[in-house]
Amino acid sequence: MIDKKGRLFGLINILDLIIIVMIVAMIAGVAYKLTYLGTGPGAQEKTARVTLLVEAVRQPTVDAIRVGDVVREYDTSSVFGTVVKKEVRDAVEVTTTSEGKNVLSTIPGKYDITLTIDVTAYVTPDAITIARKETRIGTPVRIKTALYAVMTTVMGIEILD
C-alpha cells in the first residue's frame, strides 16, 4: 500500500493526503454552517418584527438610516431584514448632581434610534435564527448597509405568522 517513497498506492504522499482531507473537511464544515445553520430539522420559516435600539449616535448616522433600507448582519453579510419604522430621540445618560442625586441628562449631539425591522426568522423550540445567527432579546446585533454600520441591541421580537 505504501511504497518506499512514502506514497499511498504509489500515487500520493500520505502527509499530503492527510492535509487534503483536512482542507476538504474544513470547507465542508464552513459550507454546512453557512447553508444549514438555523434551518435544520424542525425549523419553521416565519415572518417576524424585530425592534432594535441604536444608542448614542451622531446626526449623520441618524440621517443615513432610512425606512425601506435592507440591512445586513455585519459578520455574515446575510440579509437581516427591512427597516419599516424609525424613531429618533435625544440620547440620555445617568449623571450625578453636585447634591449627589442621580439624574438623566441629555447627551449633546447624540441620539438614540429605535428601529423596527421585518425579518425572515427560522423558529425552533430552542432558538430564533435570523441571518444565520441565533437572536434573542438583549443580544447585540451589528447591522450594515453600503452607507452605515451600527451596533444595536435587540429590544423585542414578535413572530407575525
Sign, Cα dihedral of 65, 112, 117, 78? positive
Q: pLDDT tens across 85-102, in order?
A: 999 999 999 999 999 999
Q: Are 141 and 154 in contact (CB under 8 A)?
A: yes
- Per domain, the residue ranges of the chain are 7-36, 44-159
pTM above 0.85, yes or no: no
| Residue from 66, 5, 27, 43 nearest 134 by CA | 43
- H or E element at residue 19: helix 14-36
Tell me which architecture the domain covering 44-159 has in CATH: Beta Barrel (2.40)
Q: pLDDT tens across 69-128, in order?
A: 999 999 989 999 999 999 999 999 999 999 999 999 999 999 999 999 999 999 988 899
